[in-house]
Amino acid sequence: MNKVSLVLLLATAFTLSNAYAVEKIAVAKKTVSDEVSFAANAPQLASIKIEPVIEITASTTSPLNGKITFDENYTSRVSSPILGRVLSIKAQVGEKVKAGQVLATIDSPELGSALADARKASADLQLKNKAFERNNLLLEGGVIARKDFESSQSDLAQAVAEEQRANAHLKNLGAQRNADESFLLRSPISGTVVDRQINPSSEVRPDAALPLFIITNPDHLWASIDLPERDLAKVSPGQKLAIHVDAYPDEIFTGNIDSIGVMVDPTTRRITVRCSVQSRGKLKPEMYAQITPLNTQNVKVIRLANTALITEGLYNYVFVEITPNHFKKRRVTLNSQEREFATVKSGLTVGERVISSGAFLLNSELAIAK
């Protein structure tokens, strides 16, 4: 390498070194261990968003885990009262049905036996009634003894009781005396079929573990909370709720606490809290939900976007603007934290300016400057 090339190479290296040093000084300069400042033309400032600290009216209570469930006041789980085999299914999942509408037809020998008993009891009653009327006339004419009349009277009473028993059995089965052996399983309420556990030709029995159909009114739902024992003081009957679900992250559903369990589950140490909810036709049973009890009085709280927070171990920090382009890392204490926002208990005052976007960039610059 000749002397000219060597001189040019050294000059270029010197120029690049000076430029890097100038840029480094212009971009970030460490003043103290928790502060970082930038020059007015630093490129990092384009990635930083600064917003003033404001107060809003909100709850300071952390969200509670829960789920959406059927409103049991508007739900019916339909099972077969008899043993039999399914002939046909008249209602499908998602179909709206009315009270008394046939859900399925079931072939049942048990129903045939009950019908035979009812018809036999009716025929026997007619016979015993005629015998009683005849003996009553004979007694008045002095043809028979009173004990024969009393015997026919007793037989009539037994026949009446037997017919009542047979008819009550048919009524419990939901059948009529003139029906055939095909049992009609009917819906006890109006609503929507949300579940079906039978297929054509499947066997049904009264002691089955699962109901054959679940019918509910989807406009009426509950929200159920398995409340930890330590959070019992946060809720009270009639308290208003804000409900969030993953399916609609930008919407808030409202509700009220209807009842609180009377005892703690000895295994889980939790209490069941039942809440009514305004679903607006969107919520579905078994959805998971974040349920926030609202305070009865309006409370002013400082709310920050989660993007403003830096979490290190057990503590949370934000970057506060001290002077233009000069920021200080400050520890804050949170009241509650949700999906996108958190409420601050201490560490900030209204009117201060914090980094709402780009806090991780400043934290990295601070770590490099140390």
Chain centre to alpha carbon of residue 288 = 5
User: What confidence score (pLDDT) does residue 19 get?
Assistant: 44
Chain centre to alpha carbon of residue 24 = 54
In this structure, the strands spanning 300-305 and 55-57 are antiparallel
Judge if 196 and 156 occupy the same domain.
no
Q: Is 71 helix (H, G, I), strand (E, B) or coil?
A: coil
Domain that holds residue 88: 78-108+181-217
Residue 265 lies in a domain: yes
pTM above 0.85, yes or no: no
Residue 52 lies in a domain: yes
Domain boundary among 293, 310, 344: 293
Q: What is the CATH number of the domain that holds 357?
A: 2.40.420.20
Residue 349, Cβ density class (10 Å: 0-12 exposed, 13-18 middle, ≥19 buried): exposed
Judge if 88 and 174 occupy the same domain.
no
Judge if 96 and 188 occupy the same domain.
yes
Q: What is the CATH number of the domain that holds 244?
A: 2.40.30.170
Residue 21 lies in a domain: no
User: What confidence score (pLDDT) does residue 216 get?
Assistant: 93
Residue 141: φ, ψ to 5°: -85, 0
DSSP letters along 268-337, please? T-EEEEEEEE--TTT--TT-EEEEEEPPSS--EEEEEEGGG-EEETTEEEEEEEEETTEEEEEEEEEEEE
What is the rounded distance in angstroms from the CA atom of residue 242 to the CA atom of residue 233?
17
- Which residue blocks in 28-183 are alpha helix, DSSP H? 109-140, 146-173
Judge if 82 and 203 occupy the same domain.
yes
User: What confidence score (pLDDT) does residue 179 get?
Assistant: 61
User: What confidence score (pLDDT) does residue 251 get?
Assistant: 87
Judge if 193 and 154 occupy the same domain.
no
What is the rounded distance in angstroms from the CA atom of residue 354 to the CA atom of residue 362?
12
Judge if 173 and 123 occupy the same domain.
yes
Residue 258 lies in a domain: yes
What is the rounded distance in angstroms from the CA atom of residue 356 to the CA atom of residue 51?
6
Residue 335: φ, ψ to 5°: -85, -50
User: What confidence score (pLDDT) does residue 297 get?
Assistant: 55
User: What confidence score (pLDDT) does residue 170 get?
Assistant: 77
Judge if 118 and 172 occupy the same domain.
yes
Judge if 354 and 271 occupy the same domain.
no
User: What confidence score (pLDDT) does residue 309 get?
Assistant: 92
Residue 136 lies in a domain: yes
Number of domains forming the structure of the chain: 4
Which helix (H) or strand (E) is 68 found in, with range? strand 64-70
Q: What is the mean pLDDT of each run of 10 residues along the chain (370 residues)?
A: 48 47 42 76 85 76 86 92 89 92 87 80 89 86 84 89 85 67 86 92 88 92 90 87 88 91 90 91 90 72 87 91 90 83 87 89 77
User: What confidence score (pLDDT) does residue 16 get?
Assistant: 45
The answer to whether 354 touches 348, Cβ cutoff 8 Å, is yes
Residue 145 lies in a domain: yes
